[in-house]
Structure 1
């Protein structure tokens, strides 16, 4: 695909506000226009940008628009101030898949380098690493912070200006699409196409982290989920799948009862007992969009972030809204705002909110126990001996598929060894059990690389049990020193009994 080489204006070293203003003045020259011959020709732009960036302007957006308009008096201009408007992502997707983008290149002006999200996403969501997982070196992505670039889109040539600044500690952004034409049709069409692209998911999941974005890597992580590999009590597993699948087929039932078609499910339990794996399976099975929230923070504060999250959920409904680690997302100052969005006057019609927490004691009782917020709660306890043995047998079968059998003389069968191993791992979470087998395989691979013959499989595994058991014991001691949680043991038992009897 042919790319147009534009004539970028170099972004000089900036010393002080005046240097910054003069630099932006240079950036506002169109790529094809020469610099003015006289210094007086820049006075109007210097003054407007000086006022805007020094805070003397009462309307920075207007002053910047006025500056651009004065420099392009005969052109059409479409302006936006949407922090989430993903123009660069849209152009990148078109460049990769369709022959409608003739050329797009960011000039070397005020360009920022950031670590690629593609390296981080899988780790953030899939906290327990897969043994077959491979890691990439950190990649850097370039993005234009302040400047201008050119692009031809659907037979129209655009000069696109972009600026970022701060007003009263609030992040601001301005985009100006400058083009020739009889009216605003071409610019409006480009804006509409970007928003349409932003709304449509193609093997992606919506993720909120300082703003909404589409995430392909998280989507592929979710595709590895399988209910068959999630080890829970049969009734709990059945009820969890039912509650998250039947909801979207029950709109008429909610209407007949004259109640709002919304639901909240809270997964409670210490880390490593299957909450995240259950979330992944729920998302994979869903026939509706999923919105995953990493943080309530946004460039305009957490209240703005919460508002943007629920606004997007209402626009996407019916949908699943996932709030993982709810106790860490909430802060005292945002509690009331969150409650109003979750269960206030605005309709959350068609939204299934699924949240997890490792520390229910840190969640306000108004959120934890009031009906219509989180109506259903599932407790993910440490696995029972039966569940530990079931999980262990899954791993022993996997080892056999890799050619590593239970070859010790002490145990007559894999099942007998699995039973003994489950007894020796009392108090272990699924995460520690997984680590047991991963560490065993890594040590086997290390021995194999040095030419050392493998020993008794059972004894090697028991050695790893002894090593990891010390970590489990240390974790238990730390937990023992924590204050009593607000959600009492009696309450947890009531929840378990209620779900088992549903």
Structure 2
């Protein structure tokens, strides 16, 4: 029995017009009424991406149109979403963007594994946010064919291919983040040698120590907290950790979800447990955990449910804002690394790398005043006491941009040394001394209960 020409009109009017308090059930009954002799599998998972799966398998799908579905709703989107922000032309070897037709409310048909499917999709909004329902309609003695398709879709959804799991209200696979971390190299992260070595060890050797944890009869899990003011390398370290991992990495941007932050936290740890062994990254922990979600977060992090094989790596700019039950209790974040403002030796090393880069671009640096790059770099590091790596980077970026602007107008470039000193003076007015450099002694530490578990911790004040 084929669907009549006006059934979808009535179904959408009933479901979306306020005449039903259960939109999903109303739509399901409407579909079922039109196909009483066929199998119907109903899915209310907004993340169920059957279209993405079919495209990855090169399965052709046809959106039905005409009198059968007069209220079919499709939208056009670009094949390269981020291309809309492009300012330059498309490169010769680059595939130009195309317009894709995306179904919002209606039906498309496919042939998959010797079975013909009509797949209905509906989108709407309610108090929880965007909602979606999917219905697979097909002929068969039972639901085996449809169940197989659903399982294949979920298996594809759970498989990472040059992607990183990112949670931002829902879990999604992010190719852009994966590509962003590919340029990260530990050798380009300027840390004290022992700190770099220990951090690399703690985030890699853990996954080879399951038997050791088992022999000690302790849970195979660990928490590492990266502490420090912005601009001192925490994010770059996270990128290097993600790139170097041979286990799945899950990155959390927010605890918020359609069902509230508690359910967001639940979804985050559920995915981590399913993906274990894995690395769970929580950036800006002080902003993620709010007073209303603190207990729920602690229960997921260190409660009754097993977090076997999960290495949790978190960052914070403000450890003083984190509850002591999270910060100092053993088995939660048992190892802590503080990313202090760079010492003079680290600033010298970082500045030298930038000066060599400028020299490779044709910028004349050495001269009568500073015969070698080393001498100039040492003087710059002396003048930039209290600067973060972010400000040091801005120093050289702003210098390059100023020089490029002069060249574009045909004006001669000034003396390199004096120009850089000028930028030091200008940026120096913006620098806020937020913490001692790593060469200084601490003026306070974490609580005694947590101090035994601290690695490389110096200037953290938590009072």
**Does the 8 Å contact 1:268/1:379 carry over to 2?**
yes
1:72 aligns with 2:27: no
Q: Which of 63, 66, 88 matches 2:51?
A: 88
Cα deviation, 1:284-335, whole Å, max 9, x if unaligned, reads: 1111000011111111211111111100100000000000111111222111
Q: 1:428 to 1:194 in 2, by over 3 A?
A: same
- 1:214-233 matches, cutoff 5 A: 214-233=173-192
Structure 2 CA distance for partners of 1:259 and 1:310, relative to 1, 3 Å = same
Q: Within 2, Cα distance between the matches of 1:263 and 1:497?
A: 12
CA shift for structure 1 position 179: 2.0
Q: Distance in 1 between matches of 2:131 and 2:384?
A: 54
Is 1:428 paired with 2:387?
yes
**RMSD across aligned positions (CA):** 3.2
Which residue of the partner structure matches residue 135 of structure 2? Answer: 176
8 Å CA contact retained: 1:314, 1:349? yes
Contact 1:148/1:161 (CA < 8 Å) preserved in 2? yes
From 448, 455, 463, the counterpart of 1:499: 455
Give 3-state SS (helix, strand or coil) of 1:489's partner: coil
Matches within 5 A, 1:15-54: 35-36=5-6, 46=10, 50=14, 54=18
Q: 1:376 to 1:404 in 2, by over 3 A?
A: same
Report the CA distance between 1:152 and its aligned residue: 3.3
- Please give the per-residue CA displacement for 1:8-53, whole angstroms capped at 9, x wherever unaligned: xxxxxxxxxxxxxxxxxxxxxx9x85524xxxxx5x9848963786
Determine the C-alpha separation between the residues in 2 that align with 1:498 and 1:62: 54
Deviation for aligned residue 1:74: 2.3
CA distance in 2, matches of 1:432, 1:422: 12
CA contact (8 A) 2:124 2:132 kept: yes
Listed one character per residue, the Cα deviations across residues 104-142 of structure 1 (whole Å, up to 9, x for unaligned) are 55979445688999649xxxxxxxxxxxxxxxxx99987
8 Å CA contact 2:50, 2:153 repeated in 1: yes
**Partners of 1:416 and 1:139 in 2: CA distance:** 54
Residue 72 (structure 1) shift:
1.4
Match of 2:405 among 413, 436, 446: 446
How far, CA to CA, are the matches of 2:72 and 2:367 in structure 1?
66
The 8 Å contact of residues 379 and 496 in structure 1, kept in 2 or not, is answered as no
TM-score, normalization by structure 1: 0.78
Structure 1 residues 223 and 94 mapped into 2: Cα distance closer, same or farther (>3 Å)? same
Deviation of residue 195 (structure 1)? 0.8
Q: Which has the higher helix share?
A: 1
Residue 61 of structure 2 is aligned to residue 103 of structure 1: yes
Does structure 1 conserve the Cα–Cα contact (< 8 Å) formed by 2:220 and 2:310?
yes
Question: Greater CA deviation, 45-54 or 369-378?
Answer: 45-54
- Indicate conservation of the 8 Å contact 1:205/1:290, yes or no: yes
Give the Cα–Cα distance (whole angstroms) in 2 for the partners of residues 192 and 427 of structure 1: 55
**Unaligned 5+ residue runs, structure 2?**
66-70, 84-96, 436-441, 458-463
Assess if the C-alpha contact under 8 Å between 1:407 and 1:456 holds in 2. Answer: no
Q: Aligned partners of 2:295, 2:347: CA distance in 1, in Å?
A: 41
Q: How many residues align?
A: 432
Distance 1:51 1:259, change over 3 A: same
Aligned ranges 1:237-248 → 2 under 5 Å: 237-248=196-207
Q: Distance in 2 between matches of 1:245 and 1:352?
A: 10
Match of 1:7 in 2: none
* Separation in 2, partners of 1:140, 1:379: 48
Matched-pair contact (CA < 8 Å) for 1:53–1:165? no
Match of 1:483 in 2: none
1:197 pairs with 2:168? no
Q: How far apart, in 2, do the equivalents of 1:415 and 1:462 lie?
A: 16
- In structure 1, list runs of 5 or more residues that go unmatched: 1-29, 37-41, 96-100, 121-137, 481-486
Counting only pairs closer than 5 Å after superposition, residues 259-408 of structure 1 correspond to structure 2 as 259-408=218-367
Q: 1:484 — aligned with what?
A: none
Taking a change above 3 Å as real, the CA distance of residues 362 and 106 of structure 1, as seen in their structure-2 partners, is farther
Contact 2:279 2:312 in 1 (8 A): yes
- Measured after TM superposition, the shift of residue 498 of structure 1 is 4.9
SS in 2 for 1:177: strand
Instruction: Give the C-alpha shift of residue 360 in structure 1.
Output: 1.2
Judge conservation of contact 1:105–1:151 (CA < 8 Å) in 2: no
User: 1:291, 1:113 → 2: CA distance?
Assistant: 31
Q: Deviations over 1:182-235 (max 9, x none)?
A: 332322222111111111111111111111111111111111000001011111
Are residue 455 (structure 1) and residue 414 (structure 2) matched?
A: yes
Distance 1:113 1:377 in 2: 49
How far did 1:454 drift? 2.5
- C-alpha deviations, 1:247-291, integer Å up to 9, x for none? 001001101111000000000111000000000111111110000
Name the CA distance, whole Å, in 1 between partners of 2:13 and 2:159.
37
**Aligned CA distance change for structure 1 residues 282 and 116 (closer, same or farther; 3 Å):** farther
SS in 1 for 2:387: coil
Segment drifting more, 401-410 vs 48-57: 48-57
SS at match of 1:88: helix
